[in-house]
Amino acid sequence: MRIIGTGSAHPSLVVTNKMLENFLDTSDEWIVSRTGIEQRRLISSESLEDLAVESALKAMENAGVVPDDIDFLIVSNVCNDYVTPSLSCVIQGELGIKCPCFDINCACSGFIYALDIAESFLATKDLRNILIVCAEQPGRMVDWKDRAQCVLFGDGAGSVVVTKGDDMKAIRLNTVSKVDPLWQKRAMQPTPFLRKEEHDGPLVMNGQDVFKLAVSSSIDDIEKVLSKANISAEDIDLFVLHQANIRIIDAIRHFSKQDKSKFPVNINKYGNTSSATIPILLDELNREGKLKNGDLLLMSAFGAGFTTGACILRWSK
Ligand code: COA
């Protein structure tokens, strides 16, 4: 497969750390030094569907394709207003595309999982272009009274259009069933026969456990994709990593022994937008002309599950 277009969209509301100080026992200094986050964007008047559609349209325009050129739509999303139908069904009509579609929920690793599915579909089905949309609103999942988690997240969407090609050099997905460090349940409708208690509440996170799992599993994935592709860390031009915490990115960087300039970040502006962080960062790099033909990108992400994924992709847009 080959990426031929990128797009992203952000809510209009910018929420700075200073604004959080108004209702949380926190400080800009604490948040910046522990996470690297200075501000995030949060949904207020717009909807998640608006962001998903905007980022998808920008990716299609960037790819030079029209809705009729898209043969499959994959949406990565953890939660949205609808339980059913899927977010992909909801936005497919607004986008004016006519093709099968489905959602995946692989938490923050969703973009890497979607790339792998797209790669397999392009290899085995008669498809021209696949649109991948990662649209997330973790701002609606967290407890806004819990300073240890709400400061971390932001809402946003990132999209890519992929077509047949030979740019995927290696990919690794991994899932280890570990629910405790990061989970959220929502209550379903009662029945006259229900005999168990239901839990309905915000995200529950053990930050330190997630931090340790994130670093160890990302390092493992990165080692494995480098070895699979027979490429050394020196040969990688950019490490486009999930933007969850600058200290996690720094830990991975120290392990790889590569220069800081190879690790682009935008977590300071957007916080953790779940599976949207990598396509949003990719779109920024693409539009700022920071990606050269032939560049080798290593992408790596981790998220609830515990799901992880990494891949090495040549840029040839
Ligand atoms: N402002 C001020 N103080 C805060 C705070 C905030 N926003 N959040 C937590 N604290 C306090 C804690 O209450 C604790 O106080 P105490 O020592 O009096 O009990 C202290 O800071 C240290 O808390 P700790 O949890 O040890 O901090 P940390 O250095 O581990 O950082 C996280 C916390 C959440 C930033 C960090 O663990 C993390 O980023 N984990 C990964 C989370 C993640 O990426 N989740 C998404 C995965 S996709």
Q: Are residues 7 and 156 in the same domain?
A: yes
Q: What is the pLDDT of residue 276?
A: 98
Q: Are residues 202 and 162 in the same domain?
A: no
CA-CA distances (angstroms) from residue 269 to 6, 13, 143, 264?
Answer: 19, 12, 21, 13
Kindly report the protein residue whose alpha carbon is nearest to atom 40 of ligand 1.
Answer: 207
53 alpha carbon – ligand 1 mean position (Å): 34
Is residue 148 in contact with ligand 1, taking CB distance under 6 Å? yes
Q: How many domains does the chain have?
A: 2
pLDDT, one tens digit per residue, over 40-57 is 999 999 999 999 999 999
Q: Are residues 111 and 197 in the same domain?
A: no
Q: Are residues 42 and 88 in the same domain?
A: yes
31 alpha carbon – ligand 1 mean position (Å): 9
- Percent of the chain at pLDDT above 70? 100
Kindly report the protein residue whose alpha carbon is nearest to atom 13 of ligand 1.
Answer: 148
What pairs with residue 173 in β-bridges?
Answer: 309
Q: Are residues 190 and 158 in the same domain?
A: no
Q: Are residues 137 and 284 in the same domain?
A: no
Structural domain including 295 reads 169-314
Q: How confident is the model at residue 272 (pLDDT cuts 50, 70, 90)?
A: very high
Among residues 141, 166, 191, which one ends one of the domains?
166
Residue 147 phi/psi, 5° resolution?
-65, -20
Answer yes or no: pTM beyond 0.85.
yes
Q: Write the CB contacts of 9 (distance below 8 Å, at least 6 apart in sequence).
A: 50, 51, 52, 54, 55, 58, 156, 157
Q: How confident is the model at residue 197 (pLDDT cuts 50, 70, 90)?
A: confident
Is residue 208 in contact with ligand 1, taking CB distance under 6 Å? yes
Identify the three-state secondary structure at position 74. Answer: strand
Q: Taking 90 as the threshold, does the pLDDT of residue 192 lie above it?
A: yes
Q: Are residues 110 and 58 in the same domain?
A: yes
Is residue 19 in contact with ligand 1, taking CB distance under 6 Å? no
Q: Are residues 159 and 10 in the same domain?
A: yes
Is residue 138 in contact with ligand 1, taking CB distance under 6 Å? no
Q: What is the pLDDT of residue 117?
A: 98
Q: Which atom of ligand 1 is nearest to the CA of 35?
A: 35
Is residue 204 in contact with ligand 1, taking CB distance under 6 Å? no
Q: Are residues 157 and 193 in the same domain?
A: no
Q: Are residues 197 and 269 in the same domain?
A: yes
**Mind telling me the catalytic residues?**
108, 242, 272
Q: Give, rounded to a whole angstrom, the gap between the first and last alpha carbons of the chain.
A: 11
Among residues 137, 166, 195, which one ends one of the domains?
166
Distance in angstroms (rounded) separating the CA atoms of residues 106 and 155: 17
| CATH code, domain carrying 72 | 3.40.47.10
pLDDT, one tens digit per residue, over 199-227 is 899 999 999 999 999 999 999 999 999 99
pLDDT, one tens digit per residue, over 88-141 is 999 999 999 999 999 999 999 999 999 999 999 999 999 999 999 999 999 999
Task: Please name the residue ranges forming H helices in the chain.
Answer: 17-21, 28-35, 48-63, 87-95, 110-124, 147-150, 207-229, 246-256, 267-270, 277-287
Q: Are residues 115 and 148 in the same domain?
A: yes
Averaged over 258-283, what is the pLDDT?
98
Indicate the average pLDDT of the chain: 97
DSSP 105: -
Q: What is the pLDDT of residue 198?
A: 86
Q: Are residues 79 and 161 in the same domain?
A: yes
Q: How would you classify the pairing of strands 238-241 and 296-303?
A: parallel
Among residues 135, 166, 197, which one ends one of the domains?
166
